[in-house]
Amino acid sequence: MSENRVIGSGNRIPWHLPEDFRWFKRMTQGKTVVMGRRTFESLGKPLPHRINVVLTRDPMLLAVASDNPVAYRGAKVGASALGVLRQASDSQMSLPSTVPTELLLFGDLQEIVQADRCGDAWVIGGASIYEQALPYCAELFLTHVKRVVEGDTFFPHFEDQFTAVADVLENEDFKVTHYVHRERLLA
């Protein structure tokens, strides 16, 4: 987010930070990324070597996914990620960076949350999805863009739930800060 909490403008990220993109790619490859439909549409395709979980309220998209899984730009579309997540969890291994690209649609964040030990899942936007997911997050890695930008989408307030524990990457344009949920710090 920028200094004024902006995370988007016109369904696009209003900055270009290649070093941050490389860090993001390194951290999320082989993992599950959770996003809203508009974030997915802004990407234009599933992120490779990740399980792409898209939350949508569009009943037509959910019906297509549940009734007739189809190939989507080389990605498997399925109605539920729970089986994939449980399989990775049961084997207690992290998914390798060579994990096939998958696209899975859900209508509700609760369905994902109810999966037993679903492993590392990275919530990648947008604002509504962040707001819904923050109460379930143990950790937060947030890129702070060191400028004020114009935009129409803002990161929700989280400061009362999380404590900064370290800056994991920093340069003149941005820093990535690692936060831990306060309940975890007290445990």
How many other C-beta atoms are found inside a 10 Å radius of the C-beta of residue 69? 15
List, in order of start, the domains of the chain with CATH numbers: 6-186 (3.40.430.10)
Q: What are phi and psi of 150, to 5 degrees?
A: -80, 145
Sheet holding 51-55, edge to edge: 71-72, 75-78, 102-106, 51-55, 32-36, 121-123
| pLDDT the model gives residue 64 | 53
Distance CA 140, CA 56 (A): 23
Short-list 21, 20, 84, 23, CA closest to 52: 84
pLDDT tens for the chain, residues 1 to 187: 999 999 999 999 999 999 999 999 999 999 999 999 899 888 888 899 998 888 887 756 655 555 444 333 334 444 443 333 334 334 333 444 456 788 888 888 887 777 543 567 899 999 999 999 999 899 999 999 999 999 999 999 999 999 999 999 999 999 999 999 998 777 6
| pLDDT the model gives residue 91 | 38
Q: Find the angle CA(87)-CA(89)-CA(93) to the nearest 5 degrees.
A: 100
Enter the tokens of residue 19.
Answer: 């070093």
Distance CA 56, CA 185 (A): 33
